[in-house]
Structure 1
């Protein structure tokens, strides 16, 4: 069984969807500390031809595990978020189909958990791209360890024999730790495909909601096949 272990990004980009789609299980790494100014509470959309952040305000003291991070109810943040997203997609075919995203946002309770919102949005996006890979939260598995040790223990806990890492893992993972437990370690490199974004020059690494809004449903799954695996 091949697994990937990745934090719950907010409105994730195509690369994360593709990595999950290439696996049999997604272990949601929500047990590590929240990372400020990353993509855990925000992501990029194309607004007036420019990459623009969609941001969920949070309350996260230093060291707070991701699964404990709460949404901070800054006045009118939901209205601003809805307005910016709606404006970003206004001239796309998906403009009239954005209701489920707004419903997930509205259904998130005041002071709710960021990870719950992120996984709701990720699950919806994965479904739009035809991906049905199951997931489990690392916080529910409660395995010990740090870095490679933690990842190896998570793989063992779910019975995985292959771990698919992002390219950044080449810098810090210990291949021997995986080999000692009979777990094959592979790296996933995503070659971002270009698609029609209108008159502007193509901007990669936006939230996958951009591609979803601009393309027809049959055009979405092939976008996730642009990757390479290597030892």
Structure 2
């Protein structure tokens, strides 16, 4: 079995979904501390040929809470965000097909941050034809106080994983030799995110999956773009 583990991100870039697709089981962290400067509740879209950042506003709570204990703000103006997306992509070739999906995700009534993002990931995976099983980290019986490699080892052992796939940024954090000693193969995923037409402007890479969906057919994404990565 191949597994990957990642914290939840709201409408992340294509590489995130390639990571999910590369595994048989995707473990989604819900019981780790929320990081304010990360990408958990924000991402980037295209507007007027440039990237702009959008975010889910959060209720004022302790910065030490886990992701599953944080909440979306009660005054989150969903229509404002939808209007921004509509303004940015109304002339995109697949706007009519994709905007209802975006509306469904943003209008989701859940206020819990993890559940809100979890729903969006499931909906995107369904559209992209990704059949990987997704489990919450807190539902797996391991010692959740462990850190870094030790925690990864326990997850692998708990679910019977033979291969662990990590984002390429983890090369400095994890040792293939340490994994081999425990009978686990460590692989790193390297997304090959090729340019695609974005109106008439220069290509802006690494934007939210929403951008990919607005400019490319789901058939092309499923058959080609989703598999544009290598494991090393």
TM-score (norm 2): 0.92
Q: Which residue of 2 aligns with 1:49?
A: 49
State how 1:202-217 maps to structure 2 within 5 Å. Answer: 202-217=203-218
CA contact (8 A) 2:2 2:162 kept: yes
Which whole-Å CA distance do the structure 1 matches of 2:119 and 2:188 have between them? 26
Aligned residues: 227
CA contact (8 A) 2:94 2:214 kept: yes
Which whole-Å CA distance do the structure 1 matches of 2:109 and 2:9 have between them? 16
How far has the Cα of 1:63 moved from its partner? 2.0
What do residues 86-105 of structure 1 show as CA deviations (whole Å, max 9, x unaligned)? 22221113322311321232
CA contact (8 A) 2:141 2:158 kept: no
Return structure 1 stretches of 4+ with deviation > 3 angstroms.
174-177
CA contact (8 A) 1:66 1:115 kept: yes
Which whole-Å CA distance do the structure 2 matches of 1:203 and 1:188 have between them? 21
Which whole-Å CA distance do the structure 2 matches of 1:167 and 1:103 have between them? 32
Which whole-Å CA distance do the structure 2 matches of 1:163 and 1:107 have between them? 32
Q: Which residue of 2 aligns with 1:199?
A: 200
TM-score (norm 1): 0.92
Which whole-Å CA distance do the structure 2 matches of 1:58 and 1:168 have between them? 27
Uncovered stretches (5+) of structure 2, i.e. residues with no partner? none
How far has the Cα of 1:176 moved from its partner? 4.2
Which whole-Å CA distance do the structure 2 matches of 1:88 and 1:140 have between them? 39
How far has the Cα of 1:78 moved from its partner? 1.3
Q: Which residue of 2 aligns with 1:126?
A: 125
Q: Which residue of 2 aligns with 1:229?
A: 231
* Aligned-pair Cα RMSD in Å: 1.5
What do residues 173-217 of structure 1 show as CA deviations (whole Å, max 9, x unaligned)? 243442232111111111211111110100111011111111122
CA contact (8 A) 2:162 2:185 kept: yes
